[in-house]
Amino acid sequence: MTDTRDTPFADGAAYIDGAFMPVRDARIPITDWGYRRSDVTYDVVGVWNGSFFRLDDHVARFRRSMQALRMDPAEDDARIRAILHECVRLSGLRNAYVAMDCLRGRPLPGQRFHPATCRNYIAAFAIPWVWVIPPEIQERGAHLIIASALRIPDRSVDPTVKNFHWGDLTQGLFEAGDRGADTCVLLDADGHVTEGAGFNVFAVIAGAVVTPDRGALEGITRASVAELCRDLGLEYCERPITAQELRGAEEIFLSTTAGGIMPVSRIDDIVPGDDRPGPVSMRLRDLFWAKRAAGWHATPVAYGDASS
């Protein structure tokens, strides 16, 4: 593996519209609709100890998101996987946050001013690992609030298609900070739990692990939680969850690519247990990382010197 500590790629590597570059040099045109209208979809896959986790699942979801937004870039799925490998290889990172985006450009010259006439293109990058909830906060359990801002209705923006429409989540994060909490979860207009700022939400209710069945991303790590529950003989259920149920849950935890399974110890200043991560949350978290270390759903990064 190439040592990149003293190279332009030390901070990460990027790919934009056919070219690789140091992440610090990555640029997109400010007139493109991906920037001006948030007309973009994306996905994020993690690399830990030199291996991607569930790479094929992330690329498949990325393709579904592109199709939902009527985006058809030149790169097929095999090429996208090769681009992600090359970004990590160029960076030399063993633990990395690896993003893939598809952006809509501008209408082609002489064409009508409509998204159907815009060219679509791929951007990707690999940077050092990002924790949505830092490990030291996970150890004591995250402090969560139910934000006053409501989630964008799923009839307006499909939450199963990853997108940059984060205005509601951003409001929630500022509110969490103002209230002395670490992060937030949002409700829908009917008072049901949806998701948080970059993560799925789970509650342990009557011993069962429950997560919302609507208004939320169909998370890859969420699917991993379902597998782990089967391994541990825990009941797992996707169904509507009210705010009252979440506040009264025996335990709460979160899941995301950028952090795995993350326990919660407080919600709206309510302490479900002893103000520490609960036993079910910790069993799942420990098993998640143990299986990751053993190669579960792993795809080793192609660190060879030859470009992919």
Q: Which domains does the chain have, with CATH numbers?
A: 13-128 (3.30.470.10), 135-294 (3.20.10.10)
The residue-averaged pLDDT of 182-190 equals 98
pLDDT digits (tens, 9 = 90+) for 127-178: 999 999 999 999 999 999 999 999 999 999 999 999 999 999 999 999 999 9
**pLDDT at residue number 5:** 60
Closest CA to 209 of 252, 169, 171: 252
**pLDDT at residue number 305:** 59
What's the pLDDT band for 79 if we cut at 50, 70, 90? very high
The position carrying tokens 């100890």 is 49
pLDDT digits (tens, 9 = 90+) for 272-282: 888 999 999 99
Taking phi over 0 as left and psi of -120 to 50 as alpha, with beta for the rest, 100 belongs to beta
Helix H or strand E encompassing 254: strand 251-256
SS3 39: coil
140's CB contacts (< 8 A; 6+ apart) are 265, 276, 277
58's CB contacts (< 8 A; 6+ apart) are 43, 44, 45, 52, 100, 220, 257
Would you call 115 exposed, middle or buried from its count of C-beta atoms within 10 A (0-12, 13-18, 19+)?
middle
